[in-house]
Amino acid sequence: MTSEQATVVRFHELGGPEVLRLRREPIGVPGPGEVRLRVDAIGINRAEALFRGGHYIEPVRRFPAGLGAEAAGEIELTGPDVSNLRPGEAVSVVPAFSQNDYPVYADRAIVPAAAVVRRPDGVDAITGSATWMAFLTAYGALVEGGGVRPGDTVLLNAASSSVGLALIQVARHLGVRTIALTRTAAKKPALLDHGADEVIVTSTENVPTRVAALTNARGVRMVLDAVAGPGITDLARLVAPEGTLLVYGALSGEPTPYPGVELGLPALTIRSYTMHETSRDPLRLARAEAFVTAGLRTGAFRPVIAGTFPLEEVVAAHTRLDANAHIGKLVLTVQSGLR
């Protein structure tokens, strides 16, 4: 009996986009607690570029390696002990597992059933593949991790990323004011159009002066830092007394000092955060799913799609990802599933 096949993305060494290759492989049946999907669209995240290059928070454990933790499609098969999902259902895959174990850059993939959520009516596969990494990060950071309240002001960097734009949307929905940082003036109009209350161009404006003017010299309730590195000390100066500096990324790739001593041990909470705090905790994930799904249904939440690429053009997609000139989310599409 001939095994069923899947088209998958693999890499045999660490490196840039050029290490990515497509190949055909047998696809098995799902085991206990797993489902098999026909994948229609795949969300591309910075985590995959870091994983591919050997700079992610977890290392590549074996070669050839796969990529991806966020996708949308249709359930083909369910494994033993899976009773809440059925073949034919349109679903999204939530990033709740290691790319070493369940990569989803493929036209068919096996994933844990616990990482699958139903797609609301009217949410297409591209939207469904671009929602959960960004909005789980935003919800978890602001609500579960940060406890922000209506009327608070938060400041975020990397604001034109898919997570940054989701943070702006979630904050707006919660009645929280956002100050977005961007390095170039070219991205400022788009950030304002997508809901940021204020935008500071860091290459031309004095950030402390602008933040002081925008907050009556008090500072912000929370800083959401996706960059880390030496700049964390300057960001810590912008936090109001008893506020929070939340680090959820390390895009700088540089060592990150602890700023508390240099600043004189202020009343400042500094914590790290990853989306897995939410996605791997069943109770938190259930709350997040309810929150994000409600926002999708009402139109309050909508991922910003910067561009789509066929799965076969994964190298071109990652080349654009590495250029970091886009605003929003890049998505891979599997044309057979989107006809």
Pick the CATH number of 5-131+303-338 from 3.90.180.10, 1.10.10.60, 3.40.50.1970, 3.40.1180.10: 3.90.180.10
Q: In whole angstroms, what is the distance from residue 182 CA to residue 102 CA?
A: 34
pLDDT for the residue 24: 95
Output the CA–CA distances (angstroms, integers) from residue 107 to 4, 27, 154, in the order listed: 12, 10, 39
Helices (H) and strands (E) in the chain, counts: 11, 15
CB 184 within 8 A of CB 159: no
Q: In whole angstroms, what is the distance from residue 33 CA to residue 294 CA?
A: 26
Quick: pLDDT tens for 236-285.
999 999 999 999 987 877 888 888 777 777 878 899 998 899 999 999 99
What does residue 143 show for φ and ψ, rounded to 5 degrees? -95, -60
Q: Give helix 162-174 / helix 282-298 axis angle, nearest 10°.
A: 80
- Second CATH level (architecture) for the domain 133-271: 3-Layer(aba) Sandwich (3.40)
Looking at the chain, which residues constitute the CATH 3.90.180.10 domain(s)? 5-131+303-338
Looking at the chain, which residues constitute the CATH 3.40.50.720 domain(s)? 133-271
Tokens of 337: 């599933």
Q: What value, to the nearest 5°, has the Cα angle with vertex 111 and ends 108 and 113?
A: 125
Q: Residue 87: is the preceding peptide bond cis (ω within 30°)?
A: no
pLDDT for the residue 257: 86
DSSP 64: S
CB 61 within 8 A of CB 103: no
Checking if the pLDDT of 122 tops 70, the result is yes
Quick: pLDDT tens for 297-334.
999 999 999 999 999 999 999 999 999 888 899 999 99
Quick: pLDDT tens for 176-200.
999 999 988 999 999 999 999 999 9
Q: In whole angstroms, what is the distance from residue 229 CA to residue 14 CA?
A: 23
Residue listed under structure tokens 């680090």: 247
What are the b/e assignments for 244-257, b being 16+ CB within 10 Å? bbbbbbbbeeeebe
Tokens of 107: 């036209």
Please tell me which residue, 132 or 339, carries the higher pLDDT value.
132
CB 122 within 8 A of CB 158: no
